Structure 1
Amino acid sequence: MNLAFWKRNKEGQSRKKKSAVREWLDAAIFAVIAATLIRTFIFEAYTIPTPSMEKTLLVNDFLFVSKISYGARIPNTPLAVPFTHHTLPFTKYSKAYSEAVHWPYKRLPGFTDIKRNDVVVFNFPEGDTVALEQQDQSYYGLVRSLGRDAVWEAYHVTSRPVDKRENYIKRCVAEAGDTLSIKDGIVFVNGRQAPIPPESERRYLVETTGDQLNPERLEELGVTAIPDAALSTGLFVYNLTPGNVAALKNFSVIKNIRPYFSTGLPVFPYDTAHYHWTEENFGPLYIPKKGATVKIDSSNIAIYDRIIRVYEGNKLESKNGRFYINGQPADSYTFKMNYYWMMGDNRNNSLDSRYWGFVPEDHVVGKAWLIWMSYGGGSIRWSRLFQTIK
């Protein structure tokens, strides 16, 4: 009798059914390949590590990032250990990929382009860091104590390929071709005030009649406490959402609420001779668009230097007051890629484009899509599960 699990080869000999071990091995290999393809080309899981997007996204929100929205990138480094990013598990510095094969940037067609107000995951564009963003505030403390260059020197370990750099998540506030400016902490794009995300936070100076605010009531509102928030009797600094501000204005002890501006850190493009910008007052700045041409000279080369040299792979030199690109005199430059301006919703606690500049299109991983799990305060945040990200 010829049973279904028996087959005959060309010589007419019966072939035995695969062993259970062989079947499990085949199934495991298929599962790894399928999961790798899904992770590479369709969606990937991501965890929020820092408060830079609060209250839109919270630390330990677990997300799905859609790679098909903008079109999946073909990996730069296709030879890699499955389900890893850049480092082998349980090691500090062992690479989980090989650079024996390196493919140039190419992106498959997507459903849409990157738009203003999208929440985007991308590879960190300036240099390379050992750790994730950690606490953005810890970066600020290091900058203040050591200086920016010393921090970057401490963080830089090796130059990883673009697709193996740390993943960041921010909101796209300006897309390629836009002109951006920030005035007293308010973002303007093409001369119009940009939408303020309803759950975004910024620091406010809260003036009371002299009494402290009820901590239990603040906790109910989800108001973030800032260490040493009391500046003096009746003056406090809090991280507040627009909703928080509206609610606090109804408190009888509140006399006034206004934005709080602290001493700013040095910001992009770090050319204080030509740009006296701060994190709260910035621009106007043109966001480069593919095919657009700009004039370059000593007054703006700091803005475009990294784009020309690093992101688009040219040799840029300055000789006798003139600029040379790939050995040829140049007083203008035409961009090969689109660029974007990314900022955290927690504006006073975010390491973002104000400090390291533009995000090139080849660094974009995908669009933040869905919160599938959230954990904090010792329990699951049930109300956040399966929320789409806006």
Structure 2
Amino acid sequence: MKFFSGRKKTGKEEKKKQSALREWVDACIFAVIAGTLIRTFLVEAFVIPSPSMEQTLLINDYIFVSKISYGPRIPNTPLAIPFTQASLPFFKSLKPYSTAVQWPYYRLPGFGNVQHNDVVVFNLPVGDTVLRDPSGGDVNYYQELHKENFPPPDIRPVDKRATWVKRCVGLPGDTLQIDANMVCINGVEQPLPAYSQHRYQLYSNECKSLPDSLKKALQLDENWRVLNADSSSYTINLTTVAVKKLKGTRYAIEPLLQNEGNRDSRLFPQDFSYHWNEDYFGPIYIPKKGATIVINHENIPLYYRVIATYEKNKLDTTNGTIRINGVPATAYTFKMNYYFMMGDNRHYSEDSRFYGFVPEDHIVGKAVTIWFSFGEGSIRWRRLLSGIK
């Protein structure tokens, strides 16, 4: 049964009700537009999902990334649902963007350029083609080519590829080499970031019962310590700060490195002629826009993706001749700048040692601030609003 008030609503009251609804709609539209513009051109928030940058950045550090540090990119795919990336949260199979309109790479002026040791957020270069596992998660297409139990690959534009964060150790035009885990640029050994982690062997007869004070001082995490078979040593990840604290104590430490010349088949450029591993890598020239290099069958594995994928040339290396766009070639001039990225957790990081150069059009911005951090069941208060170095 309906009850009536006995009087009709006036036109003024109906208009007032409609105006209130209109205000809410207008406010929502304004918020979406403003948020999209801020996220595209000024600053964007990210969360750290992996330990590859420990101890500089920890899992569940929430960071702000400055787009104006290097200049904001114009989106490649302007037709997209705001605040989404490659898929929708609960509908992994649906794409929240359309490739009907695609804009070429263009970057607005910024405050500067990428510098050595900047912590940079970028789109994953090998994220151009991904596979999906049964749960809808991304799988590296280039590492799983031999498998047949995946659906057709997902081809993604640059701005919809996965976003990663690493430290820039090599700039365009640099010649980089990793020698005994030390990065050398143009023959000069580079200082280690203060809180970068490296693998060491720690010796002591007391390894089964390290004092809690020492564990706290070294910021040891049980997940990253392995007791070796002789029960007198640990394989352990330590920061450079922790190593300094151990010097002069009764605990002996030494770097734990792979043997020079031992080939790691996972590493770039995945070619049998390159016997590189995580601790001994290069030398390798990092492409610079406008620079011309000699290309041959010995070095073409290093620059194949640069020439064919990132700079969109037709490259043919069969029949003993290198052909670019159908023309025999002995040299190549680069169209973009490229960078070499590494994680601070040097022995637990999938970085440019695995997937090669990061093109300039993949650079998202500079990681500048940790605005929130959560771990071990509580807020990490000391990390809030701290700068990233």
Asked if these proteins are the same fold (TM beyond 0.5), I'd say: yes
Mapping 1:18-33, distance limit 5 Å: 19-33=19-33
One-letter code aligned to 1:72: P
- Relative to structure 1, the CA distance from residue 319 to residue 376 in structure 2 (aligned partners, 3 Å threshold; closer, same or farther) is closer
Q: State the distance in 2 between where 1:153 and 1:240 align.
A: 39
Q: State the distance in 1 between where 2:148 and 2:353 align.
A: 16
Residue 5 of structure 1 aligns with which residue?
none
Q: Which runs of 5+ in 1 are unaligned?
A: 1-15, 133-138
Is it true that 1:223 corresponds to 2:224 in the alignment?
Answer: no
One-letter code aligned to 2:221: T
Between 1:241-250 and 1:114-123, the stretch displaced more is: 241-250
One-letter code aligned to 2:275: H
Between 1:262-271 and 1:194-203, the stretch displaced more is: 262-271
How many angstroms does 1:188 deviate by?
0.6
Residue 93 of structure 1 aligns with which residue?
93
Q: State the distance in 2 between where 1:336 and 1:290 align.
A: 5
Residue 212 of structure 1 aligns with which residue?
208
1:232 to 230, 253, 256: 230
Q: State the distance in 2 between where 1:153 and 1:185 align.
A: 37
One-letter code aligned to 2:312: G
**CA contact under 8 A between 1:224 and 1:238: conserved in structure 2?**
no
**CA contact under 8 A between 1:129 and 1:156: conserved in structure 2?**
no
SS at match of 2:347: helix
Is it true that 1:309 corresponds to 2:340 in the alignment?
Answer: no
- Relative to structure 1, the CA distance from residue 260 to residue 77 in structure 2 (aligned partners, 3 Å threshold; closer, same or farther) is same
Q: State the distance in 2 between where 1:47 and 1:148 align.
A: 27
Residue 3 of structure 1 aligns with which residue?
none
How many angstroms does 1:89 deviate by?
2.3
- Relative to structure 1, the CA distance from residue 216 to residue 152 in structure 2 (aligned partners, 3 Å threshold; closer, same or farther) is farther
**CA contact under 8 A between 1:231 and 1:237: conserved in structure 2?**
no
Q: State the distance in 2 between where 1:240 and 1:322 align.
A: 48
How many angstroms does 1:92 deviate by?
1.7
Q: State the distance in 1 between where 2:43 and 2:131 align.
A: 25
**CA contact under 8 A between 1:72 and 1:110: conserved in structure 2?**
yes
Per-residue CA distance 1:250-305 (angstroms, 9 max, x = gap)? 433x1x211112587321112222x2111100111100000000111110010010
Residue 78 of structure 1 aligns with which residue?
78
How many angstroms does 1:212 deviate by?
2.9
- Relative to structure 1, the CA distance from residue 305 to residue 369 in structure 2 (aligned partners, 3 Å threshold; closer, same or farther) is same
How many angstroms does 1:228 deviate by?
3.5
Per-residue CA distance 1:12-65 (angstroms, 9 max, x = gap)? xxxx66611101111111111011000011110000000000000000000010
Q: State the distance in 2 between where 1:27 and 1:383 align.
A: 36
Q: State the distance in 1 between where 2:299 and 2:149 align.
A: 25
Per-residue CA distance 1:72-114 (angstroms, 9 max, x = gap)? 1100000110111121121222111111110011111111001
Q: State the distance in 2 between where 1:116 and 1:231 align.
A: 40
How many angstroms does 1:218 deviate by?
4.4
Residue 297 of structure 2 aligns with which residue?
298
- Relative to structure 1, the CA distance from residue 199 to residue 151 in structure 2 (aligned partners, 3 Å threshold; closer, same or farther) is farther
One-letter code aligned to 1:187: V
**CA contact under 8 A between 1:72 and 1:108: conserved in structure 2?**
yes
Q: State the distance in 2 between where 1:153 and 1:250 align.
A: 55
**CA contact under 8 A between 1:223 and 1:244: conserved in structure 2?**
no
1:242 to 240, 243, 246: 240
1:189 to 185, 190, 204: 185
SS at match of 1:86: coil
Mapping 1:266-281, distance limit 5 Å: 266=265, 267-273=267-273, 275-281=274-280
Q: What is the identity percentage for the equivalent residue pairs of Structure 1 and Structure 2?
A: 52
Residues paired across the two proteins, number: 362
**CA contact under 8 A between 1:129 and 1:155: conserved in structure 2?**
no
Per-residue CA distance 1:104-153 (angstroms, 9 max, x = gap)? 11111111001110000000001444689xxxxxx9xx99xx97654899
One-letter code aligned to 1:224: D
Q: State the distance in 2 between where 1:214 and 1:241 align.
A: 17
Q: State the distance in 2 between where 1:121 and 1:349 align.
A: 18
Residue 170 of structure 2 aligns with which residue?
174
Q: Which runs of 5+ in 2 are unaligned?
A: 1-14, 134-138
